[in-house]
Structure 1
Amino acid sequence: MESSGDRQGASLGRRLVRRLRTAAGGRPGDGGGEQELMARSMGFAAMGFLTLVPLLIVLAAADPTQAASFAQWLSRALSASEEARLEIRQLFAPPRRALRTTTSFSLAALAVFGVTFAATVQTGYERVWELGPARRDTSYGRVLGGQVLWLCLLTGYLLLFTNTPLRRQDVVSTPHGTAAAIVITVLFLWASQKIALGGRVGWTALLPGACLTAAGLLGLRLFSHFVFSPLIVVNAVAYGPVGAVLVVQSWLVAVGFVVYGGALAGRILYEEGWRSRSPG
């Protein structure tokens, strides 16, 4: 016989699925919300590529004995095979060469792209929570400061994981390493949402989204090992370096979809869970 707890859980599950479908698909039959989520994911991928590639190359060039190159970081993020690693390494300049060719103009461009990327992520989170632009409620300087703080947080997170050794034969490191990575990722995503939203949403409300996004990124890493990694090799053979770049861009689109989709699912889970516990 079904218990009341099982019935409540099933009812919550149905409400979550219904709200996710509504949020992802917009009005019935128009697909507007789904198109917006995909468009924002593509914007995330475009600005992420312009920001992450030069950022990690410059960081690796500044201290090549400690920091991993962008190719190494990307290989780890994709759980790439040895063949895919070779193709990825051929796409990006070695760290020492990048340092010699880095100019003040390129550093300034990197800063501009970084702040624009932060603004893109901020807008995406604001749309998830149906909030107006932060600059309506506070000064531009404070908004810019939040974006710079978010970019510094992202840089620290990337440095932490580019300097963490992973065993090549494992899809996701050791069990203890995987658990630690998930916890650190949850904390990063939790703080990331808080900073990007300018503190307009409480910590408790942001936690489900951080947990779901971290779980989604772990699933994406497993998916990448079996799908994106072979595609890099196949496309590199068929189309040359541009084929591998297209796969990397597709992976970044998937990352953006998980980031925004996880935050949206977390918001719905928080609201529906709170409603189910509320009296009446």
Structure 2
Amino acid sequence: MADAATAGVRARIRTWRKVWRTTFPGRCVGRALDIQITDRMMALAAQAFLALMPLVIVLASAAPTAVGDGMLDWMRSRLGLRGETRTNVQDLTAATSEAGLTVVGCLLVLLSATSFSRALQRVYERAWVLTPGGLRSAWRPLAWIVGIVVYFVVIGLTVKVTHGGAALGVLRTLLVVAGSVALWWWTPFVLLSGRVRWRALVPTAVFTMAGTVVFGQLSARYVPHLLATNERRYGTIGVAFSIESWLVALFAVVIAATVLGAVVAQSAGRVGTWVRGVPDADGWHRTPRRGVGEAA
């Protein structure tokens, strides 16, 4: 009797698992587990800290004063850098500017930043269940870095021009939101080698924008206290640990939004059909011209 009861429970559990995997939340959770979300968000955070943030500092020192100051103000407001750490960031940027930037140095920083874009590319490929793009799309991570450079410059200029006043504050928010949607709409298209239709990428862009905006608002409220506490206890190294933790949480949001957008676009129901614009569940797929992005 006990064996029969145990077998019955196991059978029901297997049935529930099958039903769960067919539901929308079950498919999202399954896709997140397939791409190893914990490992991916840790890897992206580490590479952003070591490769992407130095690029921002180099840009801030190389750009015109107004743009550089706007970029640093935007970064400090997001991270809540204050006190000694804020002074250290300013001194670091000033020292970089005074020392001068060589072409070789800029190229090294730019190329090292591609390690982050390649890691992000792998996340998008796994989220959409696509094979690696191959040698023909090897230039795309570098192209994304160039695009993110332009984005940072535009953000810096926007923050500086719209500084002060409630009306300008609203305008700045609208411009930042629009820029975020454009960035997260263009990013997967480039890194996926154009193999996903623009329309199918709209949910990914909207979810990522919404997630990062909400995360940014929460960060502005709680992160300054965390940074101040760690700075008081451990000095600048404590701030570094806090920023790394902040980046881990940020990329958890980005990856979750990516998975959610991919599952929505690939769904067979009404929402998926509306997102793709076609009833075919594979209608999100796009064939790049001249085979660009196909495995070499």
TM-score between both structures, scaled by the size of structure 2 = 0.74
CA contact under 8 A between 1:75 and 1:88: conserved in structure 2?
Answer: no
Maintained 8 Å contact 1:232/1:243: yes
CA contact 2:77–2:220 (8 Å) conserved in 1: no
**Contact 1:64/1:96 (8 A) holds in 2:** no
Aligned equivalents of 1:105 and 1:50: distance in 2? 18
User: Quick one: which amino acid aligns to residue 158 of structure 1?
Assistant: F
- The yes-or-no answer on 1:234 pairing with 2:229 is yes
Q: Aligned residue for 2:239?
A: 244
Q: Which residue of 2 aligns with 1:5?
A: none
1:85 counterpart = 2:82:
yes
Aligned to 2:31: 23
Q: CA RMSD in A?
A: 2.6
Aligned to 2:212: 217
The one-letter code sitting in structure 1 at the alignment partner of 2:95 is R
- Aligned counterparts of 1:174 and 1:168: Cα–Cα separation in 2: 7
Secondary structure of 1:134's aligned partner: coil
1:7-55, CA deviations, whole angstroms, 9 ceiling, x for partnerless residues? Answer: xxxxxxx9332322333345xxxxxx5xx21211111111112222221
Instruction: Indicate the residue corresponding to 1:264 in structure 2.
Output: 259
Corresponding residue number in structure 2 for 1:124: 123
Measure the CA separation in 2 of the matches of 1:72 and 1:219: 19
Contact 2:125 2:131 in 1 (8 A): yes
Q: How does 1:155-166 map to 2 (within 5 A)?
A: 155-165=149-159
Whether contact under 8 Å (2:49, 2:244) holds in the other structure is yes
1:220 and 1:168 map into 2 onto residues whose CA distance is 23
1:8 match: none
Decide whether the 8 Å contact of 2:31 with 2:127 is kept in 1: no
Is this contact kept in 2: 1:87–1:233, CA < 8 A?
Answer: no
Deviations 1:220-277 (A, max 9, x none): 1011012212100000001110111111111111221122211110111222322699
Partners of 1:206 and 1:253 lie apart in 2 by 24
Q: How far does residue 194 in structure 1 lie from its aligned partner after superposition?
A: 0.3
Alignment match, 1:30: none
* Distance (whole Å) between structure 2 residues aligned to residue 204 and residue 126 of structure 1: 17
Unpaired runs of 5+ residues, structure 1, are 1-13, 27-32
Structure 2 vs 1, CA of residues 168 and 251 (structure 1 numbering), >3 Å: closer, same or farther? farther
Q: Is the 8 A contact 1:72 1:89 kept in 2?
A: no
Q: Which residue of 2 aligns with 1:110?
A: 109
In structure 2, give the amino acid aligned to 1:98: T
Name 1:96's counterpart in structure 2: 94
Which one-letter code corresponds to 1:90 in the other structure?
T
Percent sequence identity over aligned pairs: 26
Which letter does structure 2 place at the counterpart of 1:149?
A: A
Is there any run of 5+ residues in structure 2 with no aligned partner, and where?
A: 1-21, 281-296
Would you say the 8 A contact 1:40–1:124 is kept in 2? yes
Q: Normalising by the residue count of structure 1, what TM-score does the alignment of the two structures yield? A: 0.78
SS of the equivalent of 1:133 reads coil
Query: What pairs with 1:24-43 in structure 2 (closer than 5 Å)?
Result: 24-25=32-33, 36-43=36-43
Q: How many residues align?
A: 247
